[in-house]
Structure 1
Amino acid sequence: MLFLALWSGLLALTAQGVAQDYGTSPPVYPSPPTAGIGWDAAFAQAEAFVSNLTLEEKAQMVTGTTGPCVGNIGGIPRVGFEGICMQDGPLAIRQATYASVFSAGLTAAASWDRGLIFTRGLYMAAEFKGKGSHVALGPVVGPLGRSGYGGRGWEGFSPDPYLTGVAAEQTIWGMQQAGVQTSLKHYIGNEQETQRNPDLSISNTTIEAVSSNIDDRTMHELYLWPFANGVRAGTASIMCSYNRLNGSYGCQNSKTLNGLLKTELGFQGYVVSDWQATHAGVDAINAGLDMDMPGPVGGSQNASFFGGNVTQAVNNGTLNQDRVDDMVRRIMTPYFHLKQNEYPPIDGYEPTLNSRYPPYQYPFTLGASNVDVRDNHAQSIRELGAAGTVLLKNTNNTLPLKAPRTIGVFGNDAGDVVDGLYFSGAPFQQPQGYEYGTLPVAGGSGTGRLSYLVTPLDAIKARAARDGSLVRYILNNTLTTQPGALRTIAPVPEVCFVFLKSWASEGSDRVSLEANWNSTAVVNAVAATCKNTIVITHSAGLNVMPWANNPNVTAILAAHLPGQESGNSIVDVLYGVVNPSGKLPYTIALNESDYRFADITNSTELQQTEDPNAWQSNFTEALLIDYRHFDYYNQSVLYEFGFGLSYTTFDMSTLDIEPAVPSLEISPLPDAVPIVPGGNPTLWQVLYTVNITVTNTGDVAGASVPQVYLALPQIANSVPTPKNVLRGFDKITLQPGQSQTVNFPLTRRDLSYWDVNMQEWVIASGTVGVNVGFSSRDIRLTDQFVVVQEG
């Protein structure tokens, strides 16, 4: 967000030199009012609603209160308003009973399947609505995934902004079609958990939250990119983040809220704070914050940055009432648009789970308790869990299995959980999490309360019973690594499964990228005895795999976080009921040290600092994260971004690039076009279409994910442009021998870079390379074209 108007002398920049020049976030005032673009009828209803409120009621509408939900806006019976209920989170109604626990965002991204991601959003929202929750606090696109060590990367989708943007818009379309508001989060630069909030524990000095210092081009092309997709998709709200951004807190940063979000992206909904992320009243409001959550500060219902302070500020002239009216209009327009004035009551059991201060200050309408909202969603969860499983290695077609006589199962991730079906409590603060039990989902506010869990061991036993297979197992990792331990397994199994897991949770970052609980020793011990060892990982993020090239490790599957149907999903893949089609939404490097290009800011010196502003995270890698980094520096990796095997084979042919508009019409981006949600509408204009033919060359049906990468021209005096950026993908299912033509539209935004001088998206002069393949490094077809520009 540093703009060149303020920093005209900065532009001899490299990826390593840019971030040190960031110290401020330019002010942008006033906060632009919503016009309800795209929500015209609802906007008129919201205007009428606001006109009937007193000043005190308006203040109530923008201030969280105690109540039955994680976040609550109190009802106003006088005008027939029953309040707003907000619930976590991105994969389930976190604390609810009789609700489903869906696959994590990471798993959804690994499916690369727009339809399944949309359905996931649709079904999740049906459950939120059935429980009386107006707002689902998700999806997550921040953290984007700058670092593999980030504790909440699994809640989002992928470190690639294009893939994340597609997943976000599909989720939003699905959820809001079901009548539930989405709250796209966490805006913006929230890429680590360490020091995400101020710290008061050192010498009574407030050590401010970490400041994510990001250059202007990187902000637009990387971290803001998926938020633009979400705004264009019509997200009702945006949740601002805990961290500082170029020195200014995310929930009172006028540049990011008023400038980027509400002006440049044309966002028409409301900005809600993350819980306790508000640090001011009038200053935050004028900077663009519309709703303060949870409202009370420090455990007191009567202490709030908003609330009575809003009323007082309007009365003494320090806050314009027009701004307060705009806040309420922004809140109520999506409420009316989604017809939430006629809505199911809040589940009557929720207060026992979520309330901290009963009785409530405002009345809430409660319905029946323990409403079962799961419907038939389990089958969809099972399907997505399998679709998001990535087959990384399959030596000599080890998989799919064909009724082996003997099976060994090893690893503490295979069996049932022993500490309960809700991942909460002390393990949040432990880097390895729970020792025993499979990991269907990770921890923090992004988790879910399981109503049941199908474990891998249970599903394998069920399948083995059908096949007449003998199953033996050791689930104690410590015991498995002891000399002679595997002699108790007799006879030596024909196939051995090793289930590994990697815990992560809100509030802390990962300390290792290897799977937890002495995983490497477990794999090596099993593989030393069993010459057909298949390793499955359930991980809240990427894993390095130092055992991957062990010749006795014949197959590897990254199963991510599949949700409640975990065991069924993986057995479907192992036995070929489902042909694996997942692709990596990140890169698996050769060594953990290869990821040091974007470290979590967390040194011993910082942990002991008394400097209030010491926590500075300079994003010196700029645009070069994940595969962009490895490609730019020609660095070898174990498994590249977009990689994933199948039980069949595919090929592609006949690359054709067609201009969608005459070249003479591709003029510089017009600046007189009215901004709509998503930004300048010209950015979304399709300029070219890439056409290819994909053929299933194997002997079984399967799904393929052809991917389009663009090699955009380098820009002088700027941070480095990645060698390749994802700009298209599709998932298609083909029968043996079947071919299908696939079309990939390329928009103006796809072909542009952010020019910090012009403060605009610009198509660079020069050649655009088109690379089409089955992963970022498995490129099958190439071509190029030059975009002709006037002027």
Structure 2
Amino acid sequence: MPFEDFNTAQPDPAIEAEIDGLLEELTLEEKVRMMSGHGFHYYFTQVDNRQFGQRAYAAGSGCERLGIEPLYFSDGPRGVRHKEATTCFPVPMARAATFDLDLEERIGRAMGVEARALGVTLSGNICINLLRHPGWGRAQETYGEDPFQLGEFGAALCRGVQTHNVIATVKHFAVNSVENTRFKIDVSIDERTLREVYLPHFKRTLDAGCGSVMSAYNKVNGDYCAHNRQLLTDILKNDWGFKGFVHSDWVLGVHGPDAVEAGLDIENPEGVKFGKRLVAAVNEGEVSEASVDDSVRRILRTQLRFAREPDPQEYSVDHLACEEHVALALEAAEKSIVLLKNEGVLPFDRESLSSLAVIGQLADVENLGDKGSSRVTPPYSVTILEGLRRLVGDHVDILFDDGSDHDRAVTVAENADAVLCVKGFTWREEGEFIPGDEALEDDDPNALSTSGGDRHHLRLKPQDETLIARIGARHSKVAVALVGGSAIMKNAWHMEVGAIAMTWYSGMEGGTAIARVLFGERVPSGKLPFTVPRDADHLPFFDPAALAIEYGPLHGYTKLDAEGLEAAYPFGFGLSYTQFEYGAAEAELADDEIIVRAQVTNTGSLRADEIAQCYVGFPGSEVGRPVKLLRGFERITLDPGASATVSFTLTPRDFAYYDVASKSWRIENIRHAFYVAGSSRTDEDRAAFLDTPAHWPDLSFPA
């Protein structure tokens, strides 16, 4: 990978010398102009009918006099945002459920190809904000609750997109996990929690060579993120040695030219708070020209390094939503589906079923995710109903009812051999919060004043819960396909149905994938990238209207473990149409690394994939550690009756905690527990134990 050393190696001396010369030639006004985007307001209001994401926007850099091109920006997390039709992949939360890093890197490469075909040189496609609470509206855009998994997926997507010389942006830095009040909320957080829980995934992605960072809207400990010197300068640029540039989130991400002194390099999409105000601030001594020069150097360093790497291929619009990329979207959708319950209902048998009732409006609508900055408009999308009809053809009579009339829907269900209820959410109920809703270009503009936002509760709509329960009470073969971006509580109806599958916002080929899994042409293999509790009160406090909130060190499975609470569906959980058995874990020290192994056996009758997970526990810790933390995962394929040994290599850093007093990472001298299991619901009887190697407590890692 040509850019993996971007933040870890010394900058190219030739490029740095070239930048020295450019800085001498550039006027202050030209430097400041490079520190913001240009043209967005014109295109948005005069050309694109106030619709966002219709083109690649000039988002920093650029000096026509010296022949320097601007950077051209596009979102997003599930495909390249543009008025042209591009590939729509499943949302990142769905892709996280695959636990397939190779697949995520291949998706990144496809996004990089389509970005280059559309003139994009800066991509905002890596969203790795931690899912502190599943009610967060933009949960679908990230990869889940665990910092280790977030970092591995962020790094994989980064490697993929940057293969094609597109500068990747990782966002939103940092501690951004409330949507409705994202422009105002102030998050109080202690330094250890910040370093151990909310930042490691960002560092992992930057260590993979990510070239830019987008700051978040919210405040952290009293300072807006774009003005937060601790985040942008002390940690990002000084402690981590980040070599690239930081740009703001769009429109309301900057509050004054003083953000430059905090470490912000570009204001997007226009120079509203920078521009003339920044020139004046420099001339009046409020902002140093040295800080401006540092920002321009970072912009040019990144731009020149990426622009001068040889292109691996040629790019054209023929690559947009091409056959290869659509096949990737289908593969991701198939691997993402998580089977949560199955009491002999699935897979449906095409040979024995004469009719299948499909209940629920969401089966027959395009439902790709929210309509905010991550929206993608593919050339087509396959609905669940269409996917089922294509798959079964004339073999099974598909009886569809939108569920609006409960009595009618129950009657349709009772007259079928089996039932599929499709329930969940759309862009109206969750996603990026858009006041006034510019996302309604193809809908009635009077239909809704806003779209998206945080969820106030984790249940389905009451009428949907009632209908599922009624159908389940009258039919013995009912499956439920849930559509959404995060956890959905099932307490009110799960006992009434025989099967439940989480199908997410599954992309342009989602209907094809869901049909294949439901009818057994593919074996479900996805695992939950978050915890679903038995009671919503077991989760951290969450208020979509909060203007101030405190974040502690525990959430998700770490909180339930610490409080001795059992999850309804634990992190990493997912069933299959076959069964897997885990042997006891083994751990040994080898060359200053700890190798953890376990045998996994397919005890069922089908060839299938399993996702083995490695957790490290900290019994006896005196500094306050979680009960256990994810430290590895591997996706394996096993034939019926076959076994394989999974192996995980852990380094000293995997055991470290952040010591605030020394401002470094340290390792306790304790006995560690090692678990290999199919979810975070681990078995103590199959754990391995190993004392900290004698010299490890003497190690210290930089902050």
Query: Same-fold call, TM > 0.5?
Result: yes
CA distance in 2, matches of 1:372, 1:96: 15
Change (3 A) 1:706 1:488: closer
Match in the other structure for 2:52? none
Contact 2:56 2:82 in 1 (8 A): no
Helix, strand or coil for the counterpart of 2:489? Answer: coil
Q: Is 1:162 matched up with 2:148?
A: yes
* Match for residue 414 of structure 1 among 351, 356, 363: 363
Q: How many residues align?
A: 650
- 1:19-34 matches, within 5 Å, as none
Change (3 A) 1:402 1:703: same
Change (3 A) 1:324 1:212: same
CA distance in 2, matches of 1:500, 1:340: 49
Helix, strand or coil for the counterpart of 1:85? Answer: strand
What amino acid sits opposite 1:406 in the alignment?
S
Helix, strand or coil for the counterpart of 2:68? Answer: coil
Please say which of residues 66-75 and 499-508 is displaced more in the overlay. Answer: 66-75
CA drift at 1:128? 1.1
TM-score normalised by the chain length of structure 1: 0.78
Helix, strand or coil for the counterpart of 2:686? Answer: strand
Change (3 A) 1:769 1:446: same
Contact 1:216 1:756 in 2 (8 A): yes
CA distance in 2, matches of 1:37, 1:255: 23
Match in the other structure for 1:544? 489
Change (3 A) 1:395 1:41: farther
Q: Is 1:66 matched up with 2:53?
A: no
CA drift at 1:452? 1.0
- 1:443-458 matches, within 5 Å, as 443-458=371-386
Match in the other structure for 2:678? 774
Contact 1:71 1:293 in 2 (8 A): no
Contact 2:621 2:670 in 1 (8 A): no
CA drift at 1:74? 6.2
Deviations along 1:714-763, one digit per CA (max 9) or x if unpaired, are: 654x5x42111111111011222322222211122210111112211110
Match in the other structure for 2:464? 519
Match in the other structure for 1:79? 66
Match in the other structure for 2:27? 54
Helix, strand or coil for the counterpart of 1:111? Answer: coil
Contact 1:36 1:333 in 2 (8 A): no
What amino acid sits opposite 1:786 in the alignment?
D
CA distance in 1, matches of 2:318, 2:279: 38
CA drift at 1:135? 1.0
Match in the other structure for 2:89? 102
Match in the other structure for 2:430? 504
CA drift at 1:711? 1.0
CA drift at 1:47? 4.3
* Match for residue 196 of structure 1 among 160, 166, 182: 182
CA drift at 1:485? 4.3
Q: Is 1:692 matched up with 2:665?
A: no
Match in the other structure for 2:163? 177
Contact 1:442 1:561 in 2 (8 A): no
Deviations along 1:616-652, one digit per CA (max 9) or x if unpaired, are: 2111xx2210111111111122111111011122223
Greater relative contact order (CA < 8 Å, ≥ 6 in sequence):
1
Contact 1:754 1:762 in 2 (8 A): yes
* Match for residue 340 of structure 2 among 392, 412, 431: 392
Match in the other structure for 1:478? 404
CA distance in 2, matches of 1:731, 1:654: 18
CA drift at 1:653? 2.7
CA distance in 1, matches of 2:265, 2:182: 21
Q: Is 1:261 matched up with 2:236?
A: yes
* Match for residue 375 of structure 1 among 314, 322, 325: 322
Deviations along 1:195-232, one digit per CA (max 9) or x if unpaired, are: 222xxxxxxxxxxx111111111101110010011110
Runs of 5+ consecutive residues of structure 1 not aligned to the other structure: 1-33, 198-208, 297-303, 348-367, 418-438, 604-614, 663-686
Helix, strand or coil for the counterpart of 1:525? Answer: helix
Contact 1:111 1:582 in 2 (8 A): yes
Contact 2:217 2:225 in 1 (8 A): yes
CA distance in 1, matches of 2:610, 2:305: 38
CA drift at 1:692? 2.0
Contact 1:773 1:781 in 2 (8 A): no
Change (3 A) 1:714 1:254: farther
Q: CA RMSD in A?
A: 2.5
Runs of 5+ consecutive residues of structure 2 not aligned to the other structure: 1-6, 41-54, 434-452, 699-703
Contact 1:238 1:271 in 2 (8 A): yes
* Match for residue 117 of structure 1 among 84, 92, 104: 104
Deviations along 1:674-731, one digit per CA (max 9) or x if unpaired, are: xxxxxxxxxxxxx212122222222211111111111125654x5x421111111110
Match in the other structure for 1:146? 132
Contact 1:707 1:728 in 2 (8 A): yes
CA distance in 2, matches of 1:715, 1:248: 33
CA distance in 2, matches of 1:474, 1:567: 17
Q: Is 1:308 matched up with 2:276?
A: yes
TM-score normalised by the chain length of structure 2: 0.88
Match in the other structure for 1:221? 196
Identity of aligned residues (%): 28
Match in the other structure for 2:476? 531
Helix, strand or coil for the counterpart of 1:122? Answer: helix
CA drift at 1:527? 1.6
Q: Is 1:230 matched up with 2:228?
A: no
Deviation >6 Å, runs of 4+:
340-344
CA distance in 1, matches of 2:310, 2:35: 21
Change (3 A) 1:593 1:308: same
Contact 2:675 2:682 in 1 (8 A): no
Q: Is 1:628 matched up with 2:558?
A: yes
What amino acid sits opposite 1:518 in the alignment?
Q
Match in the other structure for 1:91? 78
Q: Is 1:587 matched up with 2:531?
A: yes
What amino acid sits opposite 1:307 in the alignment?
G
Deviations along 1:258-303, one digit per CA (max 9) or x if unpaired, are: 111111221111110111344444421111001111124xxxxxxx
Contact 1:601 1:617 in 2 (8 A): no
CA distance in 1, matches of 2:121, 2:515: 36
What amino acid sits opposite 1:487 in the alignment?
T
Change (3 A) 1:660 1:386: same
Contact 1:414 1:499 in 2 (8 A): yes
CA drift at 1:343? 8.7
Helix, strand or coil for the counterpart of 1:328? Answer: helix
CA drift at 1:543? 0.4
Change (3 A) 1:162 1:221: same
Q: Is 1:787 matched up with 2:692?
A: yes
